[in-house]
């Protein structure tokens, strides 16, 4: 029994959404709802020595449930950014913008002038006694490097509550101090802000702590063009896993939506991938070490086979063997590699040469079907079919082989089969390896459903076989597509795909019901 949150009467009843707060009656729950609502989530914030603060599910979370929807605590231009409007954060061009008459920072139009978020740098620039003068619009502009930090430092001027939340965030200042990135940030931000804005308001330590908090907790938010950076308070306590249980989407206002593509059991830790789950383990680990300063030891990272997918493996140096080579020691991608069959060992530089070339060839490749197929043919000598470089090319091919419905109708049979087979192979791979990479999975399921539907149409024209089973398979994948993409905003390609997928799904439901 726990005391009712309103009257303290002992009770067994709890709020069924969060399982966290007790109420003696529906009446008292209703009465308290306005106050309770902001903290009513299906998780609690827990704390331990090893993880610091982290989120734990307080009940079973159903598939597709939104776990957290949150507005940013603070947002601003990316650290390396061309001039953007300081109201809406979208890019601006030399011929098409206005200047804020208070501070001189370029804005895209009058409607962006009065937005609250611009007030921080606007006032600080005014106090400087001289307006800024941005003239170069073509590329990254050094003045923009410090702006998000300025907004963090001045967060308390609009909201003391936000300021105290920002103070709680991890900055890893002592770990960062002295690193090359830290030294570069000291010059371009730490020493720059007092000099440029002619202010004694902030100590160097305060500034560098804010820089650290932004880098450790910042999310790249693609709702503007170019993307901006934002910090979300509660979401920042979600721990990292390269095999996470939450997907991250953004609505058109740049609010973050964390949701569960699959059921999450009560008491499970909630996690997102801080890196890119579609990358191989060595690349993810390097990225996490560089940007978030830790070595990941999640279930996927400690298993060199990456759940038996061999996503990072290369073929044995001995062509006759047919085995796969992976790091000899699970936690050392920079040491020797060994064949799992014949136990032959190679040194790291042998592996590096292959992977570097394979990566560079993708970067410099003109992206079309013929080049993609040539790439697969060439690299099959060294890389197994499911390798991340091969998979990247196959994702590309699935999208390039018939880019739309019109092309799909006329693509040759053998190419249609190729599209279908690659899509099927990739859906299977990524549902196992990256079950929360919803945009990749949704896109692949869409392509697979349309390839199956088109193939069925062709078979039906030639034979008179009942296509019912095939159409049901097509429906199965378009249904999955809708589930994976359901929170994608229509400002993104995936949001448009979602609309089309819903139309196709309804049509397929009709057809399969009739036939
Ligand atoms: Zn009560
Ligand atoms: Zn609740
Ligand atoms: Zn604007
Ligand atoms: Zn201004
Ligand atoms: Zn990991
Ligand atoms: Zn071998």
Give residue-wise pLDDT tens across range 289-332: 998 889 999 999 999 999 999 999 999 999 999 999 999 998 78
CB 125 within 8 A of CB 134: no
Is residue 22 within 8 A of residue 13, CB to CB? The reply is yes
Where does residue 382 fall: left (phi above 0), alpha (psi -120 to 50 degrees), or beta otherwise?
alpha
85 vs 96: CA distance, rounded Å: 11
* Dihedral sign for Cα atoms in the order 61, 66, 72, 76: positive
Most confident listed range (138-142, 171-175, 502-506): 502-506
Tell me what pLDDT residue 461 has. 72
Distance CA 469, CA 466 (A): 8
For 273-303, give one letter per residue: b (16+ CB within 10 A) or e. bbbebbbbbbbbbeebeeebbeebebebbee
Does residue 235 surpass a pLDDT of 70?
Answer: yes
Question: Model confidence at 466, in pLDDT bands (50, 70, 90)?
Answer: low
Residue 512: is its pLDDT beyond 90? no
Rounded to the nearest angstrom, the distance between the alpha carbon of 44 and the centre of ligand 3 is 37
Residue 39: what pLDDT? 87
Q: What is the reported pLDDT for 212?
A: 96
Which residues have beta carbons under 5 A from ligand 1 (an ion)?
4, 6-7, 9, 24, 28
Determine what percent of the chain is predicted with pLDDT higher than 70: 99
Looking at residue 255, its pLDDT comes to 97
CA 222 vs CA 93, 252, 331, 430, 507: distances in Å: 19, 9, 33, 23, 32
Q: Is the per-residue pLDDT at 177 higher than 70?
A: yes
For tokens 């697969």, name the residue.
376
The pLDDT value given to residue 459: 84
* For the CA of 240, the nearest ligand: 5
The alpha carbon of 392 is separated from its chain's Cα centroid by a whole number of angstroms, namely 17
Paired with 29 in beta bridges are none
Instruction: Determine if the peptide bond prior to 226 is cis (ω within 30°).
Output: yes
- CA of 347 from ligand 4 middle (Å) equals 57
* Torsional sign, CA 305, 358, 356, 226: negative
Are residues 394 and 422 in contact, defined by beta-carbon separation less than 8 angstroms? yes
Within 13 Å of residue 361, how many CA atoms lie on the same side as its CB?
18
Residue 464 has pLDDT above 80, yes or no: no
Residues bordering ligand 2, an ion, CB closer than 5 Å:
15, 17-18, 40
Round the CA-based radius of gyration of the chain to a whole number and report it.
26
Give the residue-averaged pLDDT of 261-288: 97
What pLDDT is recorded for position 465? 61
Retrieve residue 356's tokens.
């570097």
Q: How far is the CA of 104 from the centre of ligand 4 (A)?
A: 6
Mean of the per-residue pLDDT values for the chain?
94
Q: Where is 258: in which H helix or E strand?
A: strand 256-259
Q: What is the pLDDT of residues 198-217, one digit of tens each?
A: 999 999 999 999 999 999 99
Q: ∠ at Cα 467 (462, 473), nearest 5°? A: 130
10 Å CB burial of residue 381 (0-12, 13-18, 19+) is exposed
pLDDT at 469: 86
Nearest ligand to the C-alpha atom of residue 282: 5
Q: Are 298 and 287 in contact (CB under 8 A)?
A: no
Q: Give the three-state DSSP class for 453.
A: helix
Q: pLDDT confidence of 515, banded at 50, 70, 90?
A: low
Q: Choose between 468 and 424: higher pLDDT.
A: 424
CA–centroid distance, 126 to ligand 3, in Å, is: 20
Give the per-residue pLDDT at 416: 97
Span 51-109, pLDDT tens digits: 889 999 999 999 999 999 999 999 999 999 999 999 999 999 888 899 999 999 999 98
The token duo for 437 is 């990479």
Nearest ligand to the CA of 243 is 5
């Amino acid at each position: 029994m726990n005391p009712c949150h309103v009257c303290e009467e002992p009770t067994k009843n709890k709020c069924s959404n969060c399982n966290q707060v007790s109420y003696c009656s529906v009446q008292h729950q209703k009465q308290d709802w306005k106050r309770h609502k902001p903290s009513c989530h299906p998780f609690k914030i827990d704390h331990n020595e090893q993880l610091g603060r982290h989120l734990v599910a307080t009940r079973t979370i159903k598939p597709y449930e939104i776990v957290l929807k949150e507005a940013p605590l603070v947002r601003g231009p990316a650290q390396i950014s061309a001039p953007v409007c300081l109201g809406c954060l979208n890019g601006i061009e030399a011929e098409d913008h206005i200047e804020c008459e208070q501070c001189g920072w370029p804005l895209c139009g009058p409607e962006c002038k009065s937005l609250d978020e611009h007030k921080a740098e606007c006032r600080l620039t005014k106090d400087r006694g001289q307006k800024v003068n941005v003239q170069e619009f073509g590329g990254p502009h050094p003045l923009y490097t410090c702006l998000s930090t300025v907004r963090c430092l001045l967060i308390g001027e609009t909201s003391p509550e936000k300021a105290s939340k920002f103070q709680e965030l991890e900055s890893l200042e002592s770990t960062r101090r002295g690193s090359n990135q830290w030294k570069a940030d000291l010059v371009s931000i730490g020493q720059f802000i007092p000099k440029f804005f002619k202010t004694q308001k902030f100590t160097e330590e305060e500034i560098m702590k804010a820089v650290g908090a932004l880098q450790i907790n910042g999310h790249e938010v693609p709702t503007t063009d170019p993307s901006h950076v934002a910090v979300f308070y509660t979401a920042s306590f979600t721990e990292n896993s390269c095999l996470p249980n939450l997907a991250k989407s953004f609505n058109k206002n740049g609010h973050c939506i964390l949701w569960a593509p699959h059921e999450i059991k009560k008491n499970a830790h909630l996690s997102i991938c801080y890196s890119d789950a579609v990358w191989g383990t060595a690349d993810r680990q390097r990225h996490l070490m560089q940007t978030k300063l830790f070595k990941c030891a999640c279930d996927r990272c400690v298993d060199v086979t990456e759940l038996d997918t061999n996503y990072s493996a290369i073929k044995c140096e001995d062509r006759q063997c047919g085995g796969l080579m992976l790091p000899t020691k699970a936690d050392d991608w920079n040491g020797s590699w060994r064949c799992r069959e014949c136990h032959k060992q190679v040194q790291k530089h042998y592996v590096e040469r292959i992977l570097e070339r394979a990566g560079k060839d993708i970067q410099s490749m003109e992206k079309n079907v013929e080049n993609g197929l040539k790439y697969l043919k060439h690299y099959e000598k060294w890389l197994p079919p499911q390798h991340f470089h091969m998979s990247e090319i196959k994702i590309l091919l699935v999208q390039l082989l018939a880019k739309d419905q019109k092309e799909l109708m006329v693509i040759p049979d053998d190419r249609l089969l190729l599209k279908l087979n690659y899509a099927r192979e990739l859906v299977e791979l990524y549902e196992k390896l990256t079950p929360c990479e919803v945009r990749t999975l949704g896109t692949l399921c869409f392509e697979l459903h349309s390839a199956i539907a088109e193939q069925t149409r062709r078979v039906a024209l030639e034979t008179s076989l009942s296509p019912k089973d095939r159409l049901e398979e097509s429906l199965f994948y378009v249904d999955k597509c809708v589930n994976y993409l359901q929170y994608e905003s229509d400002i993104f390609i995936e949001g448009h795909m979602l609309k089309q997928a819903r139309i196709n799904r309804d049509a397929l439901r009709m057809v399969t019901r009739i036939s």
